[in-house]
Amino acid sequence: MNMYLQLFLAYMKVGAVTFGGGYAMLPILKRELVDRRGWVTEADLIDCYAIGQCTPGVIAVNAATLIGHQKKGVLGAVCATVGVVFVPVLIIMSIATVLQKFSENVYVQHALAGMSVAIAAIIAVTVVKLIKKTCIDIPTTIIGLTVLALSVVFDLPTVLMVISAAIAGVVISNIKARKKGGNK
């Protein structure tokens, strides 16, 4: 099958079954793109999410665009991006008027509250898995804990924290390299 069509269909499938936004999409993307198709590594997927988080727009769309571009250039980016938003846009357009009519219904409110809790749990599981994959040593753990603490205490822009963490990672890597070079 044509790779452009594969990108569109893979992301359409992900967009169709994911509720809760970008982070809730991560485990499904991992299963579809890393495990099933082997298009990217888990590390690549995490990197795309990090970049997608600190660029303007919706994280899932940004990640789809990055991976689509990585696979097949600009047209691949377009196919993946259109794929990931195709079904959600249809669903939103279809239920927007219906939901507005029933938004005051107590059962609808409880259903939405239940979905929100389930999505929060899925995101928490994903975060724990990401921590296990990315906090691989003491320096990365310190960077992660520092960003977490700063996020809880201060309302700093995400892009500032991501760039600061990247700079810290480069600095730590250079220090380690110098120490290795000096020990030879």
pTM of the predicted protein model = 0.57
- Same domain, yes or no: 150 and 94: no
Same-domain status, 162 and 102: no
Q: From first to last of the 184 residues of the chain, give the pLDDT tens digit.
A: 698 999 999 989 888 877 666 677 778 888 888 899 888 888 888 888 778 777 777 777 888 888 899 889 999 999 999 998 898 888 888 878 777 777 788 888 898 889 889 888 888 888 888 888 888 899 989 999 999 899 889 988 888 888 999 999 999 989 888 888 766 5
Same domain, 63 and 145: no
Residues 109 and 158 in one domain: no
Based on the fold, state whether residues 109 and 165 are members of the same structural domain: no
* Same domain (yes/no): 33, 121: yes
Instruction: Kindly write down the DSSP assignment for every residue of the chain, as one continuous string.
Output: --HHHHHHHHHHHHHHH--SSHHHHHHHHIIIIIIIS-SS-HHHHHHHHHHHHTSSS-HHHHHHHHHHHHHHHHHHHHHHHHHHHHHHHHHHHHHHHHHHHHTT-HHHHHHHHHHHHHHHHHHHHHHHHHHHHH--SHHHHHHHHHHHHHHHHS---HHHHHHHHHHHHHHHHHHHHHHHHHT-
Q: How many domains would you assign to the chain? A: 2
Residues 118, 165 within the same domain: no
Residue-range definition of the domain harbouring residue 182: 135-184
Residues 44 and 73 in one domain: yes
